[in-house]
């Protein structure tokens, strides 16, 4: 079944924001964009959770979006994170992304202040009425402190340009209920459960592990899309240890930045209060990368 945000089905990668001596490293960021284009990735999601958006200044946030859009040059879609727990700030950022040439906006549920379901609805409705680009509702209660219920998402779906949900609740029941109530495109927000989500009607993933193995995640998606379930399961089993470590060793994006440093694709530098892996955690990550065949 074709879903409303079908143009964003497939592999989106939540790219990291590279730092060098405390500053955003825009040259490495452009190299990351090219790496994903070469791999065949369908869409880039800068300045999300993986992109350390909470510690970027407003100016940096905007410049990262502009840099990615410019480097993409229409060769790959760009769906930057533009959410905030302030509706006014989310409006400003989403409008800015649309003006900068982004293809869609990834909008996280307002965090910390824990709105009511009515508050969630009115927040996203305000954004949808202010911009023309598609909006992806990013539901991650483990980060935000509160779930957007499927019935609320169904109300949001009445807004024509709310077209996608990044499903990061970890609940197949929630995803199934959202699919039953709407024609929105459901994208996995957790690499480990991408295949199960595809099996119930999901249309792709916004991936963290795709920063290092985009072709392997694409292979899983393509195998499933072609009806080759056994092949898709084999890709899932191979990817699982990597996916587990990227979200399990420490808070995202600490492990993925460490992996990119080990693979000589980034400095691995984080911004406080994010701190590097411990020696024991790095040893475990190195072992996983070696067993996968990356080191």
Helix axes 229-248, 254-262, angle to 10 degrees: 100
Residues 12, 195: Cα–Cα separation, whole Å: 15
Of 26, 77, 138, 146, the active-site residue reads 138
The yes-or-no answer on residue 99 being catalytic is: no
Q: For residue 294, which of 233, 238, 224, 219 has the smallest C-alpha distance?
A: 238
Q: Between β-strands 77-78 and 204-207, what pairing exists: parallel, antiparallel or unpaired? A: unpaired
Sign of the CA dihedral with 234 first, then 281, 257, and 112 last = positive
The yes-or-no answer on residue 166 being catalytic is: yes
> Which residues on adjacent β-strands are paired with residue 56?
none
Q: For residue 126, which of 145, 100, 107 has the smallest C-alpha distance?
A: 107
Residues 191, 207: Cα–Cα separation, whole Å: 6
Of 166, 238, 261, 284, the active-site residue reads 166
Which residue numbers are catalytic?
Answer: 138, 166
């Amino acid at each position: 079944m074709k879903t409303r945000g079908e143009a964003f089905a497939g592999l989106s990668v939540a790219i990291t924001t590279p730092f060098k001596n405390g500053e955003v490293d825009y040259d490495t960021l452009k190299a990351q964009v090219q790496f994903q284009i070469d791999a065949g990735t369908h869409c880039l999601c800068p300045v999300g959770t993986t992109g350390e958006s909470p510690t970027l200044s407003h100016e940096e946030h905007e410049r990262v979006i502009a840099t990615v859009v410019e480097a993409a040059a229409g060769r790959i879609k760009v769906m930057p994170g533009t959410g905030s727990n302030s509706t006014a700030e989310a409006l400003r950022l989403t409008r800015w992304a649309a003006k900068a040439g982004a293809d869609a906006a990834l909008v996280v549920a307002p965090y910390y202040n824990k709105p009511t379901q009515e508050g969630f609805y009115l927040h996203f409705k305000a954004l949808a009425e202010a911009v023309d680009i598609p909006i992806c509702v990013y539901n991650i209660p483990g980060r935000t402190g509160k779930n957007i219920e499927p019935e609320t998402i169904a109300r949001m779906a009445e807004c024509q340009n709310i077209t996608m949900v990044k499903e990061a609740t970890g609940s197949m029941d929630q995803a199934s209920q959202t699919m039953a109530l709407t024609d929105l495109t459901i994208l996995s927000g957790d690499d480990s459960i991408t295949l199960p989500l595809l099996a119930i009607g999901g249309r792709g993933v916004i991936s963290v592990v795709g920063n290092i193995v985009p072709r392997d995640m694409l292979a899983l998606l393509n195998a499933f899309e072609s009806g080759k379930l056994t092949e898709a399961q084999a890709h899932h089993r191979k990817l699982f240890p990597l996916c587990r470590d990227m979200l399990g060793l420490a808070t995202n994006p600490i492990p993925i930045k460490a992996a990119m440093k080990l693979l000589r694709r980034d400095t691995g530098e984080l911004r406080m209060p994010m701190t590097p892996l411990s020696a024991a955690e790095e040893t475990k990550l190195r072992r996983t990368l070696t067993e996968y065949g990356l080191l």
